[in-house]
Amino acid sequence: MTASASAQYQALILGGGDPGDPFAAAHGVPVKALVPVAGEPMALHVLRTVRDSGRVGRVAYIGPTTSEMDALIDLKLPDTGRLIDNLSSGLEALGDQAGRALVLTADIPMLSPAQLNDVLDQAALLPGAGLLYPVVPRQACEAAYPGVKRTFVRVKDGTFTGGNLFLFDPQLVGRFLPKLRAVLDARKAPLKLAALIGPGVLLRLLTGQLTVRRLEEAVSRLLGVEARAIITPHAAVGTDVDKDSDLALAEAELARRA
């Protein structure tokens, strides 16, 4: 594919996964990203959104693909089997660039080009941040998709679910990726996590007394780069498809748009 003159980003789409994923197996495909949504692999919807945004010049993809997907991919990379290793190898393959790299998971087929561009416009207002992470208010999720099951975190400013895309400054990745690896490895071990982010911060987070700004500051200290949250009203940013009820929701949403 040829980058447009206005393209601002390189993109990395993470479509690898556990070959034993029961959701993928139930639908007769090797990984979740290939589960059909409205008759096409869910990753194909994400690839089209990235291309149709008009903001991306080059796309790297990790995981199994189809011929239709290949037409939208510039750089195919092998799946290492671990999220953080895929992220590391993918960003290394993209190389240093001016600006930021956009990283998305391949399981958010409801994300539209306009919604993606809105997140990117918000990110442009935070030029100093080396890591940006969208979060979606619970009210927005429940208004867009009533009854959807998501994991929410309560802070003093509200209750949010995390998004399924990130923005990185590739020139800073080497500085914070080892620390990010440690955080992900400790995410299910509270004592290890407390040692990394500080027990006081963890306690305020668990009791809902931490503000978004204080959380940004704690993550920035931990990773050694400025990290900022982007509060977005677009529920599709934080709504991945990993079970049949999510699949039915995605198909209904795409049919409604069509």
User: pTM higher than 0.95, yes or no?
Assistant: no
User: Phi first, then psi: what are they for 38, rounded to 5°?
Assistant: 55, 40
Whole-number pLDDT of residue 136: 96
Question: 3-17, 111-125, 167-181, 209-223 — which is least confidently predicted?
Answer: 3-17
At 47-84, the pLDDT tens digits run 999 999 999 999 999 999 999 999 999 999 999 888 88
Question: What are the extents of the domains in the chain?
Answer: 9-257
The CATH class, in words, for 9-257 is alpha beta
- Asked if 76 contacts 65 with a C-beta cutoff of 8 angstroms, the reply is yes
- Please list, residue by residue across 127-146, b when 16 or more beta carbons sit within 10 angstroms of its beta carbon and e when fewer do: eebbbbbbbbbbebbeebbe
pLDDT tens sequence across 190-223:
567 667 778 788 788 778 888 999 989 988 988 8
Measure the CA–CA gap between 194 and 79, rounded to whole angstroms: 31
Give me the torsion for CA of 46, 47, 53, 59, rounded to 10°.
130
pLDDT at residue 5 in the model: 38
